[in-house]
Amino acid sequence: MSDLIAIVYPTEAKAEEVRQRLIDLQKEYLITLADAVIATRDDSGKVRLNQMLHTTAAGALSGSFWGLLVGVIFLNPLLGVAVGAASGAVGGALTDVGINDDFMKQLATKLKPGSAALFVLVREMTADKVLKEISGFGGEVLRSSLDETKEKVLRDALQSASNPA
């Protein structure tokens, strides 16, 4: 089962820094991320999502490969690549993996302009080590699916970084 955690940071740069640190921790096998998205809200109130997984590009790449293969079989590889890329891109754009975009946009409307929320869908993690690594960045938990005890530990760790004693 995956856990969803949304943490608010004062800037998009800070949220990106934390996301990059989580990706590094994934390379160290301390966490397994299903998705990590940064949501921002501009001064006009428009919400923008910065996805970790770009399904449109992945679909186009996959479609190009399969289109090339079919094109080679039917002696027209360039047409096959073009048709495959187009159909793959459409398929990728219509695919929503990870965290629901509408859910993130709805929560992001609560952000102050200029701030950012990092939405992380965690499959597995070594909680104590990951928490130690990200607690120095601060932040405020906006929403989580963690049980109350784990959420309190997360909130306390992030709060201690925000308000050093």
Q: How confident is the model at residue 1 (pLDDT cuts 50, 70, 90)?
A: low
Mean pLDDT score, 89-100:
54
Q: Is 128 helix (H, G, I), strand (E, B) or coil?
A: helix
Q: What angle do CA 52, 134, 9 make, to 5 degrees?
A: 65
What are the angstrom distances between the C-alpha of 70 and each of 59, 65, 79, 103? 16, 9, 10, 38
What pLDDT, on a 0 to 100 scale, did the predictor assign at position 86?
56
Whether the predicted pLDDT of 17 surpasses 80: yes
Q: Across 11-25, 56-70, 121-135, which has the greatest mean pLDDT?
A: 11-25
Q: pTM of the full predicted structure?
A: 0.69
- Residue 130 in tokens: 């990951």
DSSP state of 137: G
What pLDDT, on a 0 to 100 scale, did the predictor assign at position 93?
46
Give the integer Cα–Cα distance in Å for 121 and 98. Answer: 7
Give the integer Cα–Cα distance in Å for 7 and 38. Answer: 10
The two beta strands, 3-9 and 116-125, are antiparallel
What pLDDT, on a 0 to 100 scale, did the predictor assign at position 157?
80
pLDDT tens profile 24-45: 999 999 999 888 889 998 888 8
Mean pLDDT score, 43-59:
70
The strand order across the sheet containing 116-125 reads 47-50, 31-41, 116-125, 3-9, 140-144
What pLDDT, on a 0 to 100 scale, did the predictor assign at position 124?
92
Mean pLDDT score, 108-137:
89
